Amino acid sequence: MIHTKPKSFVVGITGASGAIYGVRLTETLLSMGYTVHLVVSHAGWRVLKEELGVNTSDRDGFLSDKFKDCPGSLLYHPIGDIGASIASGSFRVEGMIIMPCSMGTLSAVANGTSDNLMTRAADVMLKEGRQLVLVPRETPLHAIHLENMLKLSRLGVRMIPAMPAFYFGPQSLEDLVNFMVGKVLDSFNIEHALFRRWEG
């Protein structure tokens, strides 16, 4: 009998506004039984504190409490751990999502600046031909932002800007967050029921 390991994804949370997106994505993947390798930038932790009231002095406590009821497996990697499993192309994962993705991180990925685990893991996705999804959250956008997005898009990186839709009649902030998470799952062909699809 062949035993296969659960599919694994890398999730990055950066210092862009919208930390709730990354938290909900992680929670959703774990609830589906996937393994999630989580990386949070220093600025990402700051935003988690400012936007969601996370006690960042007890990061392990937050992670274990937040995702304790999820059947999947969560592996947290500090941003400075360049020797982590996900820093190597020989370590197999399905793909990586940076949600939300700051313009600084997007620029680093676009220019191959692998100066921390987040950008190194993204670089691994590119060199190994694996799916990389970025969820940029910034407005307004200037030419450098747009040029970096175009550069990455031409390399096959999926750009899913944090632009929730309204055609499905969202009734809450959670509905809008779920829409964005659902669009990310769609890019990996993962079935979900996070929002009502347009039927014409």
Residue 107 belongs to some domain of the structure? yes
CATH of the domain at 106: 3.40.50.1950
| DSSP state letters, 29-89 | HHHTT-EEEEEE-HHHHHHHHHHH---GGGHHHHHHHHTTT-SSEEEE--TT-TTSGGGST
Residue 65 belongs to some domain of the structure? yes
Q: What is the pLDDT of residue 5?
A: 62
Q: Which of 3, 26, 70, 44 has its CA nearest to residue 185? A: 26
Domain that holds residue 170: 8-187
- What are the pLDDT digits (tens) for 130-182? 999 999 999 999 999 999 999 999 999 999 999 999 999 999 999 999 999 99
Q: Say how far apart CA 139 and CA 14 lie, in whole Å.
A: 16
- What are the pLDDT digits (tens) for 35-70? 999 999 999 999 999 999 999 999 999 999 999 999
- What are the pLDDT digits (tens) for 10-28? 999 999 999 999 999 999 9
The label of the residue with tokens 């035993």 reads 3
Per the structure, how many domains does the chain have?
Answer: 1
Q: What is the pLDDT of residue 107?
A: 98
Rounded to two decimals, the pTM is 0.95
